[in-house]
């Protein structure tokens, strides 16, 4: 019995030597150098000027903590001044050892598009530059296509698409002048695939994704990076604050949202994307990722699955 066990271990060791080492050693070397490179780039973030929209709660608040911890000079944007002040106080009280400037809070409704150029000019006056813009602000939606008022479609598109690109366009000339910059747009997995009863939301995220793909190509020679981040469900109040077809607040925390990623996890993944200068980032479980490829490789099957999902959701 002992001899058989010994032979079994010899076989396992032989297989590992034959197949394991050629895979493991290069992976460990790559992983080591990747960690070293990220540490070096993270240290280079110190002193960078970072604008974060939707910074008063949820993912935006988590992003504020993670970039402040890197020594960045933050400009935090949201409509809610009191909540922005709370986030600022938390940053300065929690990260007391971080050598950086006090965060600047800018109470601002991004849908007032015509005011954004003036507001960005004021931000430039504060620190003299803008290194990173994180377009995180957004609004969600729940409703049927046929019963949704056009005012709702317009409001969702205005918030999730037009406001984002208007702010980016106001920032880009300064980045072009300084020959550097990084734009991060928080999209959604629904910017890749749409699901029933999310039409206005998915449409706005699809549009944002397409615009970023064009901007990335056009800004390449200007040394301006563009990253789109497509997360799945995140445990925030996004679904609670979602608009319904008649413009009222949805007011419900979806089960999928409750079971979603923590804002801190997604924020950390976005930081890694910035450090590695990734272009298109998925932060989603296995099944949603498969659905993206299914939509491309076998659209008829994907459409059939969505039809079944829509029917099931309507009956429940």
Catalytic residue positions, numbered:
201
Question: Using alpha carbons only, what angle is made at residue 211 by residues 210 and 214, rounded to the nearest 5 degrees?
Answer: 90
pLDDT 10s digits, 42-69: 678 989 999 999 999 999 999 999 999 9
How many Cα neighbours within 13 Å face the side chain of 184? 29
Q: Which of 239, 234, 242 is nearest to 259 (CA)?
A: 234
**Mean pLDDT of the residues in the chain:** 88
Mutual angle of helices 58-68 and 263-276, in 10-degree steps: 50
Would you say residue 2 has pLDDT above 90? Answer: no
**pLDDT for the residue numbered 258:** 83
Give pLDDT tens digits for 220-264. Answer: 999 999 999 999 989 888 888 888 998 898 888 888 888 889 999
Is it the case that residue 13 has pLDDT exceeding 80?
no
With a pLDDT cut of 90, the percent of the chain lying above it is 68
Q: Given a cut of 70, is residue 110 above it in pLDDT?
A: yes
Q: Residue 14: which pLDDT band, with cuts at 50, 70 and 90?
A: low
pTM: 0.86
Task: Tell me, rounded to whole angstroms, the distance of Cα 88 from its chain centroid.
Answer: 21
Q: Mind listing the pLDDT tens digit for each residue in 297-310?
A: 999 999 999 999 99
Q: Band of the pLDDT at 148, cuts 50, 70, 90?
A: very high
Where do the domains of the chain lie, and which CATH numbers do they carry?
A: 44-284 (3.40.50.720), 289-315 (no CATH)
Give percent above pLDDT 70 in the chain: 86
């Amino acid at each position: 019995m002992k001899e058989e066990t010994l032979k079994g271990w010899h076989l396992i060791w032989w297989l590992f030597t034959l197949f394991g080492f050629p895979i493991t050693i290069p992976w460990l070397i790559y992983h080591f150098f990747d960690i070293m490179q990220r540490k070096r780039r993270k240290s280079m973030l110190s002193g960078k000027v970072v604008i974060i929209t939707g910074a008063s709660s949820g993912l935006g608040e988590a992003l504020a903590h993670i970039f402040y911890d890197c020594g960045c000079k933050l400009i935090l944007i949201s409509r809610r001044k009191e909540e922005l002040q709370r986030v600022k106080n938390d940053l300065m009280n929690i990260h007391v050892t971080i050598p950086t400037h006090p965060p600047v809070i800018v109470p601002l409704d991004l849908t007032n598009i015509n005011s954004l150029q003036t507001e960005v000019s004021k931000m430039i006056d504060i620190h003299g530059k803008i290194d990173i813009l994180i377009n995180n602000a957004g609004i969600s939606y729940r409703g049927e296509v046929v019963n949704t008022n056009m005012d709702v479609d317009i409001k969702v598109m205005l918030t999730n698409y037009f406001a984002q690109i208007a702010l980016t366009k106001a920032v880009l000339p300064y980045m072009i002048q300084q020959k550097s910059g990084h734009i991060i747009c928080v999209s959604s997995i629904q910017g890749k695939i749409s699901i029933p009863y999310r039409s206005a939301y998915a449409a706005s995220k699809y549009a944002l994704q397409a615009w970023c793909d064009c901007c990335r190509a056009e800004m390449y020679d200007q040394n301006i990076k563009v990253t789109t981040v497509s997360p799945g469900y995140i445990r925030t109040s996004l679904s609670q604050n979602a608009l319904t077809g008649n413009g009222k607040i949805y007011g419900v925390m979806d089960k999928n949202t409750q079971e979603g990623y923590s804002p801190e996890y997604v924020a950390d993944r976005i930081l890694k994307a910035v450090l590695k200068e990734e272009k298109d980032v998925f932060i989603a479980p296995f099944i949603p990722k498969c659905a993206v490829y299914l939509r491309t490789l076998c659209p008829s099957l994907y459409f059939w699955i969505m039809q079944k999902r829509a029917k099931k959701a309507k009956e429940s």
